[in-house]
């Protein structure tokens, strides 16, 4: 159910409904931990979010700067959740560039060593002359 203009909704509930966090308790923990700012100020989870408010959300290494477009108390599909907020084009591009840089950094790293499977163990034994 989407709310009308004059109402406010708890910030932890809105973050959960907008799918920034998987559970409402994770959203509340992020707000308490200073990872979410409302209009540039640190807030508590019970603080109300209104239409037009600016949110800065830090989730892991990702940083979102969004404007609240709609209020919803219910968590719906991702396509509906994306309609609850608008992200500036510049912020979105900067976040995507940063994600691409992280991906390229990790692409050069060696894959973790895995245990040899049965076929590989047989070849190792053959090369060592144990068979």
Q: What is the 3-state secondary structure (H, E, C) of the chain?
A: CEECCCCCEEHHHHHHHCCCCCCHHHHHHHHHCCCEEECCEECCCCCEECCCCEEEEEECCEEEEEEECCEECCCCCHHHHHHHEEECHHHHHHHHHHHHHHHHHHHCCCCCCCCCCHHHHHHHHHHHCCC
Q: What pTM value is reported for the model?
A: 0.74
Predicted confidence at residue 88, as pLDDT, reads 87
- Residue 87 near residue 66, CB atoms below 8 Å: yes
Predicted confidence at residue 86, as pLDDT, reads 94
Give the N- to C-terminal CA distance of the chain in Å, as an integer: 70
- CATH top-level class of 2-99: alpha beta
Predicted confidence at residue 5, as pLDDT, reads 57
One pLDDT digit (tens) per residue for the chain, 131 residues: 565 556 899 999 999 999 999 999 999 999 999 999 999 999 999 999 999 999 999 998 889 999 999 999 999 999 999 999 999 888 889 989 988 988 888 777 766 678 889 999 999 999 998 76
């Amino acid at each position: 159910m989407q709310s009308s203009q004059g109402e406010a909704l708890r910030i932890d509930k809105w973050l959960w409904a907008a799918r920034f966090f998987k559970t409402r308790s994770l959203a509340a923990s992020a707000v308490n931990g200073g990872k979410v700012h409302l209009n540039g100020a640190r807030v508590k989870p019970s603080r109300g979010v209104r239409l037009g408010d600016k949110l800065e959300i830090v989730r892991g290494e990702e940083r979102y700067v969004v404007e609240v477009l709609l209020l919803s108390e219910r968590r719906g599909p991702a396509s509906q959740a994306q309609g609850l907020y608008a992200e500036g084009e510049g912020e979105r591009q900067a976040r995507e560039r940063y994600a691409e840089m992280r991906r390229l950094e990790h692409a050069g790293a060696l894959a973790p060593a895995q245990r040899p499977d049965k076929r590989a163990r047989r070849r190792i034994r053959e090369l060592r002359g144990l068979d």
